[in-house]
Amino acid sequence: MDTDYAIIGGGVVGLSVAWGLLRRGRTVTVLDGDDGSFRASRGNFGLVWVQSKGMKQPRYAQWSQRSAAMWADFANELGDNTGTAVPLEQKGGYDLHFSEETLQATVAQYEALKAKLDGDYPFEVLGHNALRKEEPHIGPKVVGAILHHQDGHANPLNLLMALAADVRRMGGRVLTGKTVTDVSKPDAFRIDCADGTTLDADRVVLSAGLGAMQLGPKLGFKAPIRPQRGQVLITEKLPKLINRPSLIARQVDEGGIQIGATNEEVGFDDRVTQPGLSGLAAEAIAAYPALAKAQLVRSWGALRVLSPDGLPIYQESTEMPGAFLVTCHSGITLAAVHARVLPDWLEGTDAAPDLEVFSEARFAVS
């Protein structure tokens, strides 16, 4: 046997799981794609985010909260192990609103969720003046915001670098430029790659992002996921302008302001568009008028990995026991639980979390 676990997909999700398994003494081989692969791990917005998650499924809200609570300790450990610091700030985040109606409607939804979570959902509503005290650069069109105290943001590229380095440091094999073409289970798992590489493994984790759309069915998964494009902009590095992140803009640890993000159903097209970028810029300037003078340095598009209800999928294959599908939209937020909790589920220990609500059973056959 080549390895205890073969991890198909070496993004943040796959590397987080690999990291946790290595910590438990398992041997792990990560098969990662090439420069042509879609890379949500390199194009994302970097939020470690709780609010608005799981409005219809409190278990998802709790799963996100659990990860957010573990994130700082996880980031520190990665930083200590690798010398690559993973900047993280968790002093709350905003949902900004341009109309009183949408603000009140969202607050009502949050109140309902808070009740289902036994009150563990610490948010407050800031009117324009209260928000302006927190964010002196906020614009007059912003009527208010929901400040959720469990939200924050990280440097997702440093997370990816540190994870990749620490996985290798612990003895994990990371093979790059591999396109997995088939997985079979004559006895143990046999994985075939396009370049002729084969790998035998006791168990397989499919964490290939959108790659699971093709590979999932070969392993007995429904894998009903789809791409959704998000375009983002980043400015020159600026003096402190934004204190807390929102879905509209965040000022990263290096000073640049990342402006996001579109939600577009355009298939496997990760390009930017002029209308997409203009719309983002206009919204960001409405929120923070000082951004009108900021110079843009870069823009890019990346593809989200979305299930029909937006929740993660954690599923062991019934056709091929020992094969697991791990896929989600929020790989940054969930990195800490994927590294520190999910391995208990993969290994079937007593500490395994109950992830039944995230199984594929929720997707009825139509």
Can you give the binding site for another protein, defined by CB under 8 A?
Answer: 236-240, 253-255, 293-295, 297
Give the nearest distance from C-beta 277 to another protein in angstroms.
17
Nearer to another protein by Cβ, of 87 and 224: the residue is 87
Judge contact between 310 and 242, C-beta under 8 A: no
Q: Which two tokens stand for residue 297?
A: 């340095």
Q: Which two tokens stand for residue 90?
A: 């968790």
Instruction: Give the number of other Cβ atoms within 10 Å of residue 353's Cβ.
Output: 16
CA distance 12 to 159: 8
Nearer to another protein by Cβ, of 222 and 237: the residue is 237
Nearer to another protein by Cβ, of 112 and 297: the residue is 297
CA distance 35 to 365: 35
Q: Which two tokens stand for residue 183?
A: 């997985």
Nearer to another protein by Cβ, of 88 and 103: the residue is 88
CA distance 302 to 228: 8
Give the nearest distance from C-beta 236 to another protein in angstroms.
6
CA distance 197 to 58: 42
Give the nearest distance from C-beta 255 to another protein in angstroms.
4
Give the nearest distance from C-beta 297 to another protein in angstroms.
5
Classified as helix, coil or strand, 6 is strand
Nearer to another protein by Cβ, of 182 and 236: the residue is 236
Spell out the residues 6+ positions from residue 261 whose beta carbon is closer than 8 angstroms to its own.
45, 230, 231, 232, 247, 280
Nearer to another protein by Cβ, of 220 and 256: the residue is 256
In degrees and rounded to multiples of 5, residue 123 shows phi and psi of -130, 160
Judge contact between 267 and 304, C-beta under 8 A: no
Give the nearest distance from C-beta 251 to another protein in angstroms.
10
Give the nearest distance from C-beta 85 to another protein in angstroms.
13
Give the nearest distance from C-beta 256 to another protein in angstroms.
9
Parallel, antiparallel, or unpaired for β 198-206 and 323-327? parallel
Nearer to another protein by Cβ, of 135 and 360: the residue is 135
Burial zone of 126 (CB within 10 Å; 0-12 exposed, 13-18 middle, 19+ buried): buried
| Closest of 292, 283, 236, 293 to residue 262, by C-alpha | 283
Nearer to another protein by Cβ, of 129 and 295: the residue is 295
Give the nearest distance from C-beta 84 to another protein in angstroms.
17
